[in-house]
């Protein structure tokens, strides 16, 4: 089994500890290569590091070692690195295919996202007016700070913080969650991942228009002008994440969200 390390150069802890972590991997029977010839890419950091690794090396399965604060994707904690490497060397893992999103607009850039696509107002404190259609059929209008369209993997990120539901990783669906809606009856919408979601920026009643940014996994892709639409759908490729033997998504949720402490 050959691994390669992917680190965020801005993460001082990751830079300082990669040498000792690589030594642990070698003692467990793993050899080190480059992302081009590796069987598994080991991402050192938080979930943002994993998102970056998936984007830059989509064909290589990624295992996340958590050096961040929360880390839903990088679920292997500091005390379990040696155990993780031993399981990896023994082949006691599986590669899970996680659905991704793609977003684009007519004549504009396109981007893929593992977690979410966020359509959000920029600059001013006024609400955005966003019309949402699903497969060409009008669904709803949001007056809010913005909208999060999340995959099951990303449902525990910005969407959850905005009041959205948790989707299990094997769910064939996406969730639409409004950000700070100006109505108490607005609720998230769960849709099948086979649909195309269109989000169109509109003017406010007084004729003014918000500057609307479209972001994919925290990276700004483009801006929407008035009456322009962003098209969001399932990406043709999936992300490959390593799930070690014993991985339980319910246990991870319970541990990360503190549900176990409540019991």
C-beta separation of 191 from 197 below 8 A = yes
Same domain? For 112 and 230 the reply is yes
C-beta separation of 2 from 30 below 8 A = yes
Catalytic residue, candidates 47, 116, 145, 217: 47
Same domain? For 57 and 144 the reply is no
End-to-end alpha-carbon separation of the chain, Å?
40
Long-range contacts of 85-90 (CB under 8 A, 24+ apart): 85/24, 85/25, 85/28, 85/30, 86/28, 86/29, 87/244, 87/245, 88/1, 88/3, 88/28, 88/30, 88/40, 88/63, 88/242, 88/244, 89/1, 89/28, 89/29, 89/30
The candidate with the shortest Cα–Cα distance to 148, out of 186, 183, 91, 184, is 186
pTM of the model: 0.91
Q: What is the pLDDT along the chain (263 residues), one digit of tens a residue?
A: 999 999 988 888 888 989 999 999 999 999 999 999 999 999 998 888 999 999 999 999 999 998 866 677 877 888 889 999 999 999 999 999 999 999 999 887 899 999 999 999 987 778 899 999 999 999 999 999 999 999 999 999 999 999 999 999 999 999 999 999 999 899 999 999 999 999 999 987 666 677 899 999 999 999 999 999 999 999 999 999 999 998 888 888 887 777 766 55
Same domain? For 209 and 137 the reply is yes
Same domain? For 148 and 88 the reply is no
Question: In terms of residue numbers, what domain contains 147?
Answer: 101-234
Same domain? For 230 and 105 the reply is yes
Tell me how many domains the chain contains: 2
Same domain? For 76 and 191 the reply is no
Same domain? For 35 and 136 the reply is no
Same domain? For 23 and 95 the reply is yes
Same domain? For 132 and 196 the reply is yes
CATH number for the domain harbouring residue 151: 2.60.200.30
Same domain? For 123 and 157 the reply is yes
Same domain? For 81 and 197 the reply is no
Known active-site residue 47: yes
């Amino acid at each position: 089994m050959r691994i390669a390390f992917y680190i965020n150069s801005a993460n001082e802890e990751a830079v300082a500890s990669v040498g000792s972590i690589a030594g642990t991997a070698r003692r467990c029977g793993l050899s080190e290569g480059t992302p081009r010839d590796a069987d598994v890419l080991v991402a050192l950091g938080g979930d943002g590091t994993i998102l970056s690794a998936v984007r830059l090396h989509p064909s290589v399965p990624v295992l996340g070692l958590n050096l961040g604060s929360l880390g839903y994707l990088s679920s292997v904690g500091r005390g379990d690195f040696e155990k993780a490497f031993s399981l990896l060397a023994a082949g006691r893992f599986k590669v899970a295919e996680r659905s991704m999103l793609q977003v684009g607009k007519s004549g504009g850039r396109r981007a893929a996202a593992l977690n979410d696509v966020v359509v959000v107002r920029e600059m001013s404190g006024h609400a955005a007016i966003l019309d949402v259609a699903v497969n060409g059929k009008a669904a709803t209008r949001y007056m809010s700070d913005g909208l999060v369209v999340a995959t099951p993997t990303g449902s525990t990120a910005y969407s959850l913080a905005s009041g959205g539901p948790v989707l299990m990783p094997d769910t064939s669906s996406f969730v639409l969650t409004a950000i700070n809606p100006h109505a108490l009856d607005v609720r998230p919408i769960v849709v099948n991942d086979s649909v195309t979601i269109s989000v169109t920026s509109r003017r406010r009643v007084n004729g003014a228009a918000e500057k609307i940014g479209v972001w994919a996994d925290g990276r700004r892709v483009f801006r929407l002008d008035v009456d322009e639409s962003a098209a969001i759908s399932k990406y043709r490729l999936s992300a490959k994440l390593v799930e070690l033997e014993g991985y339980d998504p319910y246990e991870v949720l319970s541990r990360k969200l503190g549900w176990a402490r409540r019991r």
